[in-house]
Structure 1
């Protein structure tokens, strides 16, 4: 073959792989940003914005969500990590690292001549087997008194024992039934505050203060609570209508009706009003004189938690027109409402609705508040996942065990799809290798040691002690991970890897603009 013909063929191959290599490089850049944080010896990452604001964190999803990423493939991986955090509350770094390895191995196989379709076919087969192995090894957790629950919290909480204890206590207050509810997230109960003491209490914390100092600082004894998912203001009227005599008369009528409705609340004996938006000065004056505590611009998620805990039903401002008996039916109840001036927050305790715990994480300085909260939320997400789906050995041990199981799939695969299985095998080896590397040991040597030890002993819980570098039993050492976190990370990594490998061409879209009819007009 002539040199010219070889050059032409090489150029064609390079063009065919251009999109794949470009996307793989973007994935690699994202992976490298978080892989150094994996494991007990993982280091922190400093994020700096254009104004010089600094965030120092070890949390994978925080790094990914705040890093500047313009490449579409990079954004795909970041979105997968966010979905992992939203679904199971932990494991984003593991999912990212495994996805990056799957893509890297896939690109190598395609460059060696394996068709993309066959790579994807093998990847799917390997992933299916890997998920089977992990699901089969999940050990259910009977109740919250199981000591493995604290170990899960300790591992996910990066060995912060005080935070692990807070999360376990909060889980105990909430109960297993609540933790298993699909719409409940234990992580939402976590709040970190500078200068606060670590605390878990049955109730809800509102991150706002009362409207003014004349309002009561504490209420007790069956406090009636109104929750308004709206502004505590009179109904609005259009400016054009207000300019007319009839419109102005209507405005005065609405103001009178509004005052009457506010006085109705006073007659009902409400002690606390939580308001989503602003409060009119007239309402503030009337309620202050009546000794009612009013908190405005409360976060919607806090309103929902307060409603659930107190048994209140959130209403709009038009709901204030209801009769006294109808309004009484939407009120919640609580044993105590306290304005904590030091923390600049309001506590609602002893609600008559569903049990609701709050985890208050103390932080010495403003710089560590955010990181303490992220650590506690990770621990909370891990504990809840463990209750829902059980636990498995951590430290990359189970993944290495699963890698050998997946490798055995090749013998039953015909054709070039057998090569695609390698994508999953290498991805499963990667967590242990990265944990070992971050601990300062040779990953090739240590992965080989663990692999031999697992084969010899038949134990899938053997890994590496990151302090000594010796082979150790992860389960005996208390290094446990929630099974749902492992399962979701594997599935998410496989999905994003397949999506990236399937992209053959990258084309810039032309701009689309709205036309006069509300449709799109191309230019």
Structure 2
């Protein structure tokens, strides 16, 4: 690529085959790619949203309504489109819900910005306006938010139901939401924080959705080690071992010379007594259940079975930590150091068969700081989608318990924001005013999309909503069944404040970042085989060539 002539000699700056798209062309290409990503997930928004079926190159199928799952499964090439995927991932990591909202908002912000760019308004001015509008939006949202406490189980349940709506949980939303709330309440720490990692979700195909249950304790995907061990232990005293109950091989290559059968027998007897000693150490503490993270020798299994100790081996590290939290025990790394104080306690440890698999239930813990949910469903795809819905529900309930603030759903906060931001824009003046108005218009894409996905008329729904908000009914949102504006707080459609603030913030940041790019320089990928331009065209037909 020649950047200029010097005495008739072209000056090569970029490697042959590199592509450079500059100025308006680059902005157009980037905005188009981002809009295409938003368009891909737009139809999944809301309770009446449709699902996507993703098939990968191995033929594995994922059927989902979850924005972030769809974008992760899509093989996206375009660099600007990848930024949209990042928004969804951030939203998912921070709040767990609202991924589609964030992406659709970012797409709409860029679409509105396109109109401003056509009016020769500089991207920097648009960026400044968008940032000011995003800050103002945070202020407005805080004013319309309602506080809620951890004891307000009714509201917490409504939040869980709202986040699950449309995610394949169908008729069993009520039951699943109750499970989610109960699980979160069980694992709240003293300081009010919630780590949803302490809630184990086990998926099992078989039965119906309503067969899902919450276990106040732990469910471990393993069965007992030996058929002679008891199937059920009440008043369990649990030893948690991060040590193998087997004879360690020596670190150094050692050879033992045995010359007579007696010596061999003595050697085997010695091994047996060492293993017996290890098991005796466990018995001495009074333990009647052993969870071991490492291996257990066959002979040691025999001794443990003989003593009637329920034993599970090769338990995952994460499960060991949760067991310790649930039973109040301590994970011990040396059998010789195991004392009675280290034992955890549970009312019942039992092996049960769920579907065609045996699992170990640790129940009736005094104050379990770790609980388990077992999800059931007719097919694998149903259980997977249920699992995604449950993860979202647990996260949003956790977020509300931490932040203690919620806002109405159904497009109510967005219509209120649009109204207030237009008032704010009038006080700003100048070219930034146009950008703030564009931000306000972008907010309305959420109620519009909700209406469209429910088969309602976009314009009629939006006009009806606006008139309610102008009358001062801040929590008026769209009833998806009737298409009439209803007070969302009364209807029980509520979301955590953090879902909205995070979605608007990350959408604004991503839109500003994409707007500020005026030059795309793509180096040639993988030599001649990469084809001209190296970078394959992105989504929606836009291209770098």
- Say whether the fold is shared (TM-score over 0.5): yes
Alpha carbons of structure 1 residues 37 and 308: separation in structure 2 relative to 1, 3 Å: same
Aligned counterparts of 1:231 and 1:510: Cα–Cα separation in 2:
53
Alpha carbons of structure 1 residues 68 and 211: separation in structure 2 relative to 1, 3 Å: farther
RMSD: 3.2
* Residues 15-46 of structure 1 deviation map (CA, whole Å, 9 limit, x = unaligned): 31333333323322322222111112111111
Alpha carbons of structure 1 residues 55 and 122: separation in structure 2 relative to 1, 3 Å: same
* Residues 122-143 of structure 1 deviation map (CA, whole Å, 9 limit, x = unaligned): 1110001111111111111134
TM-aligned CA deviation for residue 453 of structure 1: 2.6
Instruction: Name whichever of 79-88 and 304-313 sits farther off.
Output: 79-88
Match of 1:445 in 2: 460
Alpha carbons of structure 1 residues 55 and 324: separation in structure 2 relative to 1, 3 Å: closer
TM-aligned CA deviation for residue 486 of structure 1: 1.3
Alpha carbons of structure 1 residues 508 and 434: separation in structure 2 relative to 1, 3 Å: same
Say whether the 8 Å CA contact 1:187–1:377 is kept in structure 2: no
Aligned counterparts of 1:260 and 1:27: Cα–Cα separation in 2:
66
Say whether the 8 Å CA contact 1:144–1:176 is kept in structure 2: no
TM-aligned CA deviation for residue 329 of structure 1: 3.4
Aligned counterparts of 2:247 and 2:442: Cα–Cα separation in 1:
60
Aligned counterparts of 2:118 and 2:193: Cα–Cα separation in 1:
44
Match of 1:480 in 2: 494
* Residues 206-242 of structure 1 deviation map (CA, whole Å, 9 limit, x = unaligned): 12223343333211113223142x665555655xx32
Give the TM-score normalised by the residue count of structure 2. Answer: 0.80
Aligned counterparts of 1:262 and 1:181: Cα–Cα separation in 2:
41
Aligned equivalent of 2:22, options 15, 18, 40: 15
Task: Give the gaps of 5 or more residues in structure 1.
Answer: 1-12, 513-523
* Residues 296-325 of structure 1 deviation map (CA, whole Å, 9 limit, x = unaligned): 34344322221101112234xxx2154344
Match of 2:158 in 1: 151
Aligned counterparts of 2:119 and 2:247: Cα–Cα separation in 1:
71
SS at match of 2:385: helix
Alpha carbons of structure 1 residues 324 and 152: separation in structure 2 relative to 1, 3 Å: closer
Instruction: Name whichever of 373-382 and 398-407 sits farther off.
Output: 373-382
Match of 1:340 in 2: 352
Match of 2:382 in 1: 368
Instruction: Name whichever of 139-148 and 425-434 sits farther off.
Output: 139-148
Match of 1:402 in 2: 417
Say whether the 8 Å CA contact 1:170–1:358 is kept in structure 2: no
TM-aligned CA deviation for residue 402 of structure 1: 0.7
Say whether the 8 Å CA contact 1:262–1:286 is kept in structure 2: yes
Aligned equivalent of 1:489, options 503, 508, 520: 503
Which structure's CA Rg is the greater one? 2
Aligned equivalent of 1:411, options 396, 417, 426: 426
Task: Give the gaps of 5 or more residues in structure 2.
Answer: 1-19, 258-266, 527-545
Aligned counterparts of 2:84 and 2:91: Cα–Cα separation in 1:
11
Alpha carbons of structure 1 residues 295 and 71: separation in structure 2 relative to 1, 3 Å: farther
Alpha carbons of structure 1 residues 123 and 321: separation in structure 2 relative to 1, 3 Å: same
Aligned counterparts of 1:75 and 1:231: Cα–Cα separation in 2:
46
Aligned counterparts of 1:205 and 1:403: Cα–Cα separation in 2:
47
SS at match of 2:455: coil
Count how many residue pairs are aligned between Structure 1 and Structure 2: 487
Say whether the 8 Å CA contact 1:223–1:272 is kept in structure 2: yes
Aligned counterparts of 2:119 and 2:245: Cα–Cα separation in 1:
68
Match of 2:7 in 1: none
Report which of the two has the higher share of helix.
Answer: 1
